[in-house]
Structure 1
Amino acid sequence: MSAIPSVNLQDFVSGDPARKEKFIKEIGAAFENIGFVALSGHFLEDELVDKLYGEIKDFFHQPQEVKDKYEIEGIGGQRGYTSFGKEHAKGKKEGDLKEFWHFGQYVEDNPKLEQEYPDNVLVEELPNFNAVGKETYQKLEKTAKYVLRALALHLDLEETYFDQWIKNGNSILRPIHYPPITEEPKNAVRAAAHGDINLITLLMGAHGKGLQVQNHEGEWVDAIARPDQLMINVGDMLSRLTNNKLKSTIHQVVNPPKELWGTSRYSIPFFMHPVSEMPLNCLKNCVDENHPKGFEDTTAGEYLNERLIELGLVKK
């Protein structure tokens, strides 16, 4: 049995009040207890997942000089390509053993945000790459919207509380390539232990084991979803907003056993971010005598900038 609870989003959208309530209770308990859940019944078709994996493998197999054309200076890695070893976990100086790509928001009806967000970067060599990325981004964003509606009800908020903040939000779809390991890494792992910055993260079934979650006893447990499931976890923004009622769980991607060093690993997380002006002040109904307010007031934009500096992606 996986240590990560499983839920089915179709319960929530079924129109059956009992099934909807069951989903709210299950996902609420999972996010209070371990901060991770394996979700089936989402809006992402298997065929689209296969297409995206095909496109990103084709991109990461391009010669380095081709990939380097898409590493854009001055935007903190928010769009396009980030080369191997550039990003490190908070408090670590060793770079993670990965390279990645960022698809960002496709803004609708908001000229101010169109100016604020960098443009998505078009890959000339792969004619379907950007279209497949956009479709995946929008299907995951839709899935995340319904998960957040369930969490709003769990927190005794109005069901669509998050909708206004996530529409045109600063979300990121990040295809990651962990290349084969060619020599003994010096204190470096594929992704060092970290908490995510955002509201929630949706992870498409990673190709290759390695993801581990730290439970409340401090033990590392393998997080393995079925191919048809998304692994979803609470990010630090949602943890702050709920005064740590919903737990942002520390997780990592460990290096494989030595006999598998010669293999690549691919992984595609979707980081659900709100618009930058969303207040992250602790919700009043998550603060009481037994749970005093644990975080200072801030906004999503201020908090994101602070964390990007810590990750080495933005200079002070």
Structure 2
Amino acid sequence: MTDVLTSDQIASVSLADADEDPQGFANELGRSFVDYGFAVIRDHGIPQDLIDSAEQKSKLFFALPEDVKRKYFIEGQSGQRGYTPFGIETAKGLKAHDLKEFWHVGRDLPAGHKYASSMLPNVWPSEVAGFKETFQELFEAFDQAGLKVLRAIARFLKVDEDYFTDTVKDGNSVMRLLHYPAQTEPTGEHIRAGAHEDINTITLLLGAEEAGLELKTKDGRWIPVISRPGELVINIGDMLQRLTNGVLRSTSHRVVNPAPDRASHARFSMPYFLHFRSDFLIEALPGTVAPGEQPKWPPITADDYLQERLREIKLK
């Protein structure tokens, strides 16, 4: 089942195996999440032609003039929808901003939905034909792939296979289109993305085939995370780490600057940050706290935790 991509044996598995050998797949995936917080998944069901179309439209948007892109930078929204310019987001605890710009797509909610106050409406650029339709379709495809991964995680945790279905229903998930520009001059202390952990439940990432993504192992080493075109890199976020009382690891990771022979190449990727629903109470699952011990973190709602973390990374 496994095709090892690094000497540290981060799992590389086929999502098709979740149907053929559900428990074996869950165990392989879970082991990787316990040890590294990361895994690579192929055969995930997101059509390659949709991925290709999304990548093309992302590149077309980021190639627009700066003043056009900034029309979609909305003050007071914590970067949760539309465009966030180069040089704003900063990893928690760091002073040097990341060398990236990005666009956020969120979940479309019907009028009057109970989560409307915590989930802003999307904005769409008129300059790129088919942008809205393409990324609405990709958002839904990410959502479905994420549910399949969560079912396997539930099996690994020995809870009901459908445990996560309600926890993420209408969740405040965000798809991010990322552009790390080519580097034509010294960057000083800045790198493409400083070391950080993700806020959310799980992250599904397209575009990691371009070198740069690294994770920090338990013993403090930085190792590359490598995938092939079209594969998904999956990692555990802080919300799921809290829910599992640290059984599954939210691992520190970063995107380092390119080697000199790749410095003239921009880097594009598309992570999908799958979130719990806003009012879900994140507290340690039964069986994850040893007898006589207290949970590592107190209970907190998903939205309260999100707002806390957005302030820490200077988006709020």
**When the two structures are superposed, what TM-score results if normalisation uses the length of structure 1?**
0.94
Aligned amino acid, residue 218 of structure 2:
H
Identify which of 1, 5, 30 aligns with 1:2: 5
Counterpart mapping for 1:201-212 below 5 A = 201-206=203-208, 208-212=210-214
**1:220 matched to which residue of 2?**
222
- Indicate the SS of the match to 2:233: strand
User: In the aligned structure 1, how far is the partner of 2:44 from the partner of 2:133?
Assistant: 20
Identify which of 30, 34, 37 aligns with 1:35: 37
**2:156 matched to which residue of 1?**
154
User: In the aligned structure 2, how far is the partner of 1:174 from the partner of 1:268?
Assistant: 6
Aligned amino acid, residue 57 of structure 1:
K
Q: Is the 8 A contact 2:51 2:230 kept in 1?
A: no
Q: Deviations over 1:85-133 (max 9, x none)?
A: 1000001111100000000012258622234311111111112011111
**2:134 matched to which residue of 1?**
132
Number of equivalent positions: 310
User: In the aligned structure 1, how far is the partner of 2:22 from the partner of 2:263?
Assistant: 44
- Indicate the SS of the match to 1:206: coil
Q: Is the 8 A contact 2:23 2:155 kept in 1?
A: no
Q: Deviations over 1:256-279 (max 9, x none)?
A: 122322211001100001111111
User: In the aligned structure 1, how far is the partner of 2:34 from the partner of 2:129?
Assistant: 43
User: In the aligned structure 1, how far is the partner of 2:31 from the partner of 2:109?
Assistant: 33
Root-mean-square deviation (CA, aligned residues, Å) is 1.5
User: In the aligned structure 2, how far is the partner of 1:51 from the partner of 1:166?
Assistant: 27
Q: Is the 8 A contact 1:152 1:160 kept in 2?
A: yes
**2:93 matched to which residue of 1?**
91
User: In the aligned structure 1, how far is the partner of 2:305 from the partner of 2:188?
Assistant: 31
**1:243 matched to which residue of 2?**
245
**Shift of residue 61 of structure 1?**
0.1
User: In the aligned structure 1, how far is the partner of 2:304 from the partner of 2:76?
Assistant: 18
C-alpha spacing 1:291/1:61, structure 2 compared with 1 (3 Å): farther
**Shift of residue 245 of structure 1?**
0.3
**Shift of residue 182 of structure 1?**
2.6
Aligned amino acid, residue 88 of structure 1:
T
**2:284 matched to which residue of 1?**
282
Q: Is 260-269 or 187-196 further displaced after alignment? A: 260-269
Aligned amino acid, residue 2 of structure 1:
L
**Shift of residue 291 of structure 1?**
6.6
Q: Is 231-240 or 291-300 further displaced after alignment? A: 291-300
Q: Is the 8 A contact 1:207 1:266 kept in 2?
A: no
Aligned amino acid, residue 245 of structure 1:
V
Aligned amino acid, residue 210 of structure 1:
G
Counterpart mapping for 1:71-90 below 5 A = 71-90=73-92
Counting aligned pairs with the same residue, the percent is 41
Q: Is the 8 A contact 2:208 2:233 kept in 1?
A: no
- Indicate the SS of the match to 2:13: strand
- Indicate the SS of the match to 1:252: strand
Counterpart mapping for 1:261-280 below 5 A = 261-280=263-282
C-alpha spacing 1:109/1:285, structure 2 compared with 1 (3 Å): farther
**1:49 matched to which residue of 2?**
51
**1:198 matched to which residue of 2?**
200
Alignment gaps of 5+ in structure 1: none
- Indicate the SS of the match to 1:184: coil
Q: Deviations over 1:194-241 (max 9, x none)?
A: 110000000013352100011111111110011131000000110011
Aligned amino acid, residue 14 of structure 2:
N
- Indicate the SS of the match to 2:218: coil
Aligned amino acid, residue 50 of structure 2:
L
User: In the aligned structure 1, how far is the partner of 2:94 from the partner of 2:35?
Assistant: 27
Aligned amino acid, residue 49 of structure 2:
E
**1:144 matched to which residue of 2?**
146
**When the two structures are superposed, what TM-score results if normalisation uses the length of structure 2?**
0.94
